[in-house]
Amino acid sequence: PSLLQHTPVILLKEGTDTSQGIPQLISNINACQVISEAVRTTLGPRGMDKLMVDSRGKATISNDGATILKLLDVVHPAAKTLVDIARSQDAEVGDGTTSVTLLAAEFLKQLKSYVEDGLHPQTIIRAFRTATNLAVSKTKEIAVSVKKDDKQEQRKLLEKCAATALNSKLIAGQKDFFAKMVVDAVMSLDELLPLKMIGIKKVQGGALEVGEDFLDFSFALWLCFVIFPVLHPLSTFSVRCLLQACGGSIQTSVGAMTEDTLGQCELFEEVQIGGERYNLFKGCPKAKTCTIILRGGAEQFTEETERSLHDAIMIVRRAIKNDSIVAGGGAIEMELSKYLRDYSRTIPGKQQLLIGAYAKALEIIPRQLCDNAGFDATNILNKLRAKHAQGGTWYGVDINNEDITDNFVACVWEPSIVRINALTAASEAACLILSVDETIKNPRGSVDGPPGGGRGRGRAHAH
Ligand SMILES: Nc1ncnc2c1ncn2[C@@H]1O[C@H](COP(=O)(O)OP(=O)(O)OP(=O)(O)O)[C@@H](O)[C@H]1O
Ligand SMILES: [Mg+2]
């Protein structure tokens, strides 16, 4: 009603589209199904990539849920919520964006019949919040933590987590190499692990091969000022990095140069990598930074590699801060599903059905992993259910042999925080979409509507 008071004009305008009530909810749910259809085949190690071409003809190949959704340029207001939530997962933990989208859409799909039957959305939302809380505490309970003091153990953990994140990417073939490199890169940072201190530079040409040596930016800034413009203009990124790494400050002329405006580094050298020349600043005293140089043929390829490395870097940072892990490949989802199903049997009424629906929806992750690999999903899921009922907590899909396996032993590890975040984000998205029962749209072609009207409604803001 408040919307009506604030924007009466929109309602009066000819062509304004309003729809409300159950049909509106159902149509929003359907829109979210369409979104999940768009990304579902990209999930997991056997997932496919998408090639997207924008209006300017620029082609992008990606497996990253957030990137795909961003490029899809979704206009449907409810579906856009889902896109925003997936992107919030990307910002928060970097990985797991496809999972969030699939889970949220599946939650809604399982609920659809209850909505059609006239069950009040608030009842559903309440049940979902309960289920999410239960699932999160269960995840925390069963997550395994690896001792931080043991450096070797920690390193192993980090590499495994990075490898799991890279499994589903274009560069999965070289995942061990890249996992090691990502861990090295993150470990070379200082305690706060500032993401922006890891630079990724892409050089065209050559096979995708990675400069093992990290280019430590450290340097005297006047040097930069004098030398760089000749070579190539400095990007703001490099300037910022350089300033933080070596101290010094930006001078507009060499006239007033004093001791304290200068930064320092131990060694400055210029090397040729591919077609470009690079300035390396080694042994910088102030901050720890590093740069990864990627060389590859097609631009699309190096760009996707950069995105994949970003996922892995985020995962490693997460895993350093929080060392508890769970097994992936659908294992954690199956375990939570079992737990919630058992729990739902102990409570009466609608809540039982709804929590049961939540439990069922969790199975989408292993199911989709199977589907994408061409496995018989029903068969594998039956096996998994049976195994989890017998206490096989970490059993998940074995992607190499059409079977199930203990994914903890198989080292398909993921930081538990990633899964927790994915679950909460997905259920928030589902609840948000359920709580919208009316959409009011400006007629098309009208000059920019007032803020808050039409398109923007129901939009989630990432937290
Ligand atoms: N070796 C493996 N065997 C089985 N499952 C695996 C393996 N490696 C990764 N997975 C699973 O694949 C899923 C992750 O797939 P993917 O990386 O495509 O999607 P995402 O992480 O949800 O989203 P995105 O990476 O696009 O942000 C997780 O459920 C993970 O447990
Ligand atoms: Mg991933």
Residue 181: its pLDDT value, please?
A: 85
Residue 238: its pLDDT value, please?
A: 66
Residue 18: its pLDDT value, please?
A: 67
Q: Is residue 257 within 8 Å of 195, Cβ to Cβ?
A: no
Per-residue pLDDT band for 301 (boundaries 50, 70, 90) equals: confident
Considering only CA atoms, which residue is closest to atom 20 of ligand 1? Answer: 96
Residues lining ligand 1, Cβ inside 6 A: 42-45, 47, 63-65, 95-99, 164, 167-168, 311, 328-329, 365, 369, 397, 399, 412, 414
Q: Quick one: which of 62, 99, 104 has its CA closest to 81?
A: 104
Place of tokens 């096989």: 392
- Conformational region of residue 184, where left means phi above 0, alpha means psi within -120 to 50, and beta covers everything else: alpha
DSSP string, 425-461: HHHHHHHHHHT--EEEEPPTTSS-PPTTSGGGTT---
**In this model, does residue 177 exceed pLDDT 60?**
yes
Ligand closest in space to the Cα of 401: 1
**In this model, does residue 333 exceed pLDDT 90?**
yes
Per-residue pLDDT tens for 406-429? 988 888 888 888 899 999 999 999
Per-residue pLDDT band for 8 (boundaries 50, 70, 90) equals: low
Residue 237: its pLDDT value, please?
A: 59
Distance 311 CA to ligand 2 centre (A): 7
Q: Is residue 108 within 8 Å of 85, Cβ to Cβ?
A: no
- Residue 116 in 3-state DSSP? helix
Q: Which range is least confidently modeled, 110-119, 338-347, 380-389, 454-463?
A: 454-463
Distance between CA 65 and CA 36 in Å, rounded? 10
Per-residue pLDDT tens for 123-151? 999 999 999 999 999 999 998 887 767 77
Distance 163 CA to ligand 2 centre (A): 10
pLDDT winner (highest mean) among 73-77, 82-86, 256-260, 437-441: 82-86
Task: Name the more confident of 171 and 431.
Answer: 431
Structure tokens at 434: 């359920």
Residue 1: its pLDDT value, please?
A: 56
Ligand closest in space to the Cα of 63: 1
Contacts 24+ apart (CB under 8 A), 250-258: 250/221, 250/225, 251/221, 251/222, 251/225, 254/222, 254/225, 254/226, 257/222
Structure tokens at 137: 């505490």
- Residue 352 in 3-state DSSP? helix
**In this model, does residue 392 exceed pLDDT 90?**
no
**In this model, does residue 443 exceed pLDDT 60?**
yes
Residue 352: its pLDDT value, please?
A: 92
- Residue 147 in 3-state DSSP? coil
Residue 424: its pLDDT value, please?
A: 93
Q: Which of 39, 41, 42, 43 to mutate to test the pocket of ligand 1 (most atoms within 8 A of CB)?
A: 43
Residue 137: its pLDDT value, please?
A: 93
- What value does the mean pLDDT of the chain take? 79
DSSP secondary-structure letter at 259? G
2-28 average pLDDT score: 66
Q: Using alpha carbons only, what angle is made at residue 376 by residues 374 and 381, rounded to the nearest 5 degrees?
A: 125
**In this model, does residue 12 exceed pLDDT 60?**
no
Per-residue pLDDT tens for 209-259? 444 443 433 333 333 333 333 334 455 656 766 777 777 777 777 676 777
Residue 402: its pLDDT value, please?
A: 87
Distance 456 CA to ligand 2 centre (A): 29
Backbone Cα Rg of the chain: 25
Collect all residues with Cβ–Cβ distance below 8 Å to 203 and sequence separation of at least 6. 273, 274, 275, 276, 293, 294, 295, 302
Residue 128: its pLDDT value, please?
A: 92
pTM, two decimal places = 0.80
Residue 369: its pLDDT value, please?
A: 92
Per-residue pLDDT band for 154 (boundaries 50, 70, 90) equals: confident
Distance between CA 18 and CA 438 in Å, rounded? 7
Distance 166 CA to ligand 1 centre (A): 8
Residue 225: its pLDDT value, please?
A: 34
Residue 235: its pLDDT value, please?
A: 59
Considering only CA atoms, which residue is closest to atom 21 of ligand 1? Answer: 96
Q: Which amino acid is at 359?
A: A
Structure tokens at 437: 């029962």
Q: Which range is least confidently modeled, 54-63, 86-95, 169-178, 239-248?
A: 239-248
